[in-house]
Amino acid sequence: MKTARHYVGGAFGPAPSDGTAIRTFPLVDPVDGTVVGKVPEAGHETVDAAVAAARGALDGPWGNTGPEERAAALRRIADGIEARFDEFADAEAGDTGKPRGLAATVDIPRAIGNFRAYAELLHGRPETSYTTAVPGWSTGTGKALNYTVRRPLGVVAVVSPWNLPLLLLTWKVAPALAAGNAVVAKPSEETPSTATLLAEVIDAAGLPAGAFNLVHGHGTGAAGEFLTSHPGVDAIAFTGESATGAAIMRKAADHLTPVSFELGGKNPALVFADSDLDAAVDGTVRSAFTHSGQICLCTERVYVQRTVFDEFVARLGERARELTDYGPMISAAHRDKVLSYYRLAVDEGATVVAGGGVPSFGDRRDRGFYVEPTVLTGLDGRARTMREEVFGPICHVAPFDTEDEAVALANDSRYGLAATVWTRDLSRAHRVAPRIEAGIVWVNCWNLRDLRTPFGGIKDSGIGREGGTYSLDFFSEPVNICVQV
């Protein structure tokens, strides 16, 4: 049986300091629905202790570290994950149910890369300028040397989701530590294992006690809410559902706490008649069904130019029916949610081209939380299935005629995270991509990422940007120093 552990002030243990009873909840394998471990539920006292430990680290050794020391610490963490690569891959696949090959080729290498990338990005140049005093606007005379230094925000709460647990946790923890903050992390209650392994690696890397803290538990009315509403927290970085982000923002407003949110999506793909149809079909299979659609970047709305619409639908449906190596939904509750959208789509008038139900494997997976990869057609933009994020292996394909119509259809959403454009016409690609209301637009590819580039959404898909110096900018405060010379 797996046992997740809190990590607070440099010490592991599920028990609160005041001796009250240890509360736990079961960890369930989504592949077959069996209980495989237990997870401690952090109460107010554990969250308070974690925030206090983080504050203490800032007032102590961690607060006095320079960029070189922090970079060295990040490299040691990266090396520690790499040394235990198989453990991390097994734990990630075990918690999420995703194919181990996906965890081993995407999640764990990306986590290692996150720490190494931010170790390298620490070596920036100061921003300097000379300024001439403006009469009536300055108490000084003559010229001044202006330069900018960056200081950490303080105690940062990191709340990460269950779909890419280690990848998205380290995507925030690495830059937060790089900027000199102390972190209190709360992973999803569904996927605690790699976060616990990360705490073990960070402990072995020798970071000062309290620089990184880990608490487990649920969200509303529990550890997640206790942390994000805590008056001792100086910033919040969250990835998850838009509704949860809005709830966190309401709590954060009480203390004017800065937030960085990467939220939901209802991402479109535009397939033009001049595209490489083989590449467009292959790319849409990936963008709709990778990790069974449980990625915020996955495509749920596909718009195809009418002259190739029938061929595209037939080929995509065939490919969806051929898929076999896919994982389950994260939980029984999420499976039921996705299945409810499958039923809703039919009630709204959709034609089911492929899928639409529960697969049968003839093995232990039949006790798990699987749904079929599903392709739909026939709905208009007003249908709930077209407007609400399902977060499962589902996409709806609709036709369009003109470029302007395609852009209008893509933008007809309260979300704005990602989009994909398939076309051989370079001029069209450059015309269309900037008009799409999304934080990232891929042309003839999907999920091709450079960690230095900005990542995030607009509208209900988020606030702020992550990646490269954009993350460092959020996790630090610029201070202008003006010296009269």
Give the residues across from 143 on adjacent strands. Answer: 132
pTM for the model stands at 0.95
Q: What is the CATH number of domain 2-263+461-484?
A: 3.40.605.10
Q: What is the pLDDT of residue 134?
A: 56
- If you classify domain 267-450 with CATH, what class do you get? alpha beta
Q: What is the pLDDT of residue 100?
A: 97
Contact 147, 130 (CB under 8 A): no
Q: Is 348 a catalytic residue?
A: no
Q: 190, 262, 389, 437: which is the annotated catalytic residue? A: 262
Q: Is 296 a catalytic residue?
A: yes
Cα gap 314→301, rounded to integer Å: 16
Q: What's the one-letter identity of residue 159? A: V
Q: What is the pLDDT of residue 142?
A: 76
254 CB neighbour count, 10 Å cutoff: 9
Pairing of strands 259-262, 235-239: parallel
Alpha carbon distances (Å) from 325 to 53, 97, 100 = 44, 11, 10
Please state whether 217 falls in left (phi above 0), alpha (psi between -120 and 50) or beta.
left
Q: What is the pLDDT of residue 131?
A: 59
Alpha carbon distances (Å) from 341 to 141, 346, 373, 389 = 68, 9, 13, 10
Cα gap 131→111, rounded to integer Å: 43
Cα 474–Cα 42–Cα 390 angle in degrees, nearest 5: 65
Q: 296, 298, 300, 395: which is the annotated catalytic residue? A: 296
Q: What is the pLDDT of residue 485?
A: 87
Q: What is the pLDDT of residue 140?
A: 65
Q: What is the pLDDT of residue 125?
A: 46
Low-confidence ranges of the chain (pLDDT < 70): 14-21, 124-141
Contact 183, 211 (CB under 8 A): yes
Q: What count of residues does the chain have?
A: 485
Contact 75, 114 (CB under 8 A): no
The ranges assigned to domains in the chain are 2-263+461-484, 267-450
Pairing of strands 235-239, 11-12: unpaired
Please state whether 209 falls in left (phi above 0), alpha (psi between -120 and 50) or beta.
beta
Q: What is the pLDDT of residue 138?
A: 55
